[in-house]
Chain A
Amino acid sequence: MIELSQVSKRFQAGGKVIDAVLPTDLTIRSGEVYGLLGFSGAGKSTLLRLINRLEEPSGGSVRIDGQEMVGLTGDALRQARQRMGMIFQQFNLLSHRSALRNVEFSLEVAGVPASRRRARAREAMAAVGLSDREQSYPAQLSGGQRQRVAIARALATSPTILLCDEATSALDPHTALSILRLLQQLNRERGMTIVIVTHDIKVANYLCQHCVVLERGRVVDRIDMAAPQPQSLLGKFFFETAKGWTDQTVLPQEET
């Protein structure tokens, strides 16, 4: 379970104050797929990065399975992070390592002995369907394959939570769907909790049980995807555009 309470993030740059995330409460139950939906700059990525403290919260509390993340330092923070996997829009693979060695990276960091690393990395590569590309370098792989390697790297340490930062945004729709299917399979078969940041309602529709809609650092809508009833203009816009864009589609920014 991930519990955020009154968590916020304020950036200060050259005298300018930007509230990327205003105090926010959020509870994500174990085994759930949870969407953070919003346009660029809404603060959804920052909110995700507050969960594993890639961003330092300006206030509030972040609890993972009852453990408070805020204030953890050194080894304690690193161990807490090792219990969460993370994947990114740009995959962030190490270009100088083969796919298999990229997967081994998270195992090295987690202190898995060298004798067991290879086998566990192979298992993870098999789980994402890439056993035949173990020796390829990232530059030799397609975008979808790179994201699969990144997922294998996140899986290898058997985390219970997977954080996805726009994981399918850089992929064509066909590849994106194959990655979403893989994520769904991980959720169903391993009971993995998945938090996914996206600006694409199709992603949320396909994968998520619950969603929040973010706008300028604020949660403006909380949606149960089993029976979506968006209340906000932005939430309605997202569900409206799920049917496709028309001349009648109202851009929420124009109204506010």
Chain B
Amino acid sequence: MNNLFDALVQFGPDLVKATLDTLLMVSATMVSAALIGTPLGVLLFTSGSGGLYPRPLLNRVVGYIVNVLRSFPFIILLVILIPFSRLVVGTSIGPKAAAVALSFAVIPFFARLVEQNLRDVPRGIIDMAQACGASTRTTIVKVLLAEAMPALVGSFTVTATGFIAYSAVAGAVGAGGLGDLAIRYGYYRFETSVMVWCVVIMFVLVQGTQIAGGWLARKIDKR
């Protein structure tokens, strides 16, 4: 036990910085998921057969791109994206660079979840909107996304918790963050106490995200 508290004093600043780095990486990643993954999921759904606006060729092309991105082992995606990260955020190392790679991983993943959530909206609701004379845009925003919102919040929460853990892998490109700290100190340098603290903090982050997401989803779910 003493070891644990000694470690807290000795590595406190490192732990704080690592926590902030993790939060930065995951926040940036989830902003990408929301801003790019959501519209991509809508596109996958609406352009699919039986969608609002079937475009089989477009659907297939986007589907392939999404699947290709999802097939990459994350560590390889990280390395491939080094030049791109340099272009976008001006650096190929650190949390910002890792956020670029994490975004590439999260966008296709979240898009598929969004697609599935929209698929689960009863078909009759779409018929109703069409029968009222709603435009495609209105149907997507006020009907599809609005009806799927509790499920979307759930998907977003699951994705966020998953990517808190995932961000640890980004330590491989010197991303920093809790996972990185746990590996460098805890694993390579046998500072088990540091590793324990990292895992504890990550647990708090995951748990907090899950509780907040669950609460929000329940609050907006009127079914």
Cβ < 8 Å to B, chain A residues 14-66: 49, 52, 54
Nearest CB in chain A to that of B128: its residue: A92
Main secondary structure of the interface of B (DSSP, over half): helix
A106: chain B residues at CB < 8 Å are 132
Interface residues on B, range: 20 to 34
Number of interface residues of A (CB under 8 A): 30
> How many residue pairs at the A-B interface have CB separations less than 8 Å?
67
- Known pairs A54-B130, A108-B142; A78 contacts B135 (CB<8 A): yes
- Known pairs A86-B128, A92-B125, A92-B127; A110 contacts B133 (CB<8 A): yes
A92: chain B residues at CB < 8 Å are 122, 124-125, 127-128
A95: chain B residues at CB < 8 Å are 147, 222-223
Is the beta-carbon distance between B125 and A81 smaller than 8 angstroms?
no
CA distance A237 to B223 in the complex (A): 41
B133: chain A residues at CB < 8 Å are 77-82, 109-110
* Extra A-B contacts (6), CB below 8 Å, given A82-B132, A86-B128, A109-B138: A49-B127, A94-B143, A96-B146, A96-B147, A105-B129, A108-B142
CA distance A80 to B131 in the complex (A): 10
A137 proximal to B (CB < 8 A) = yes
B211 proximal to A (CB < 8 A) = no
Nearest CB in chain A to that of B222: its residue: A137
- Which of A80, A106, A110: most chain B Cβ within 10 A? A106
Is the beta-carbon distance between A94 and B125 smaller than 8 angstroms?
yes
Q: Distance in Å from the Cβ of B127 to the closest Cβ of chain A?
A: 6
Is the beta-carbon distance between A96 and B127 smaller than 8 angstroms?
no
Contact of A81 among B130, B138, B222 (CB under 8 A): B130
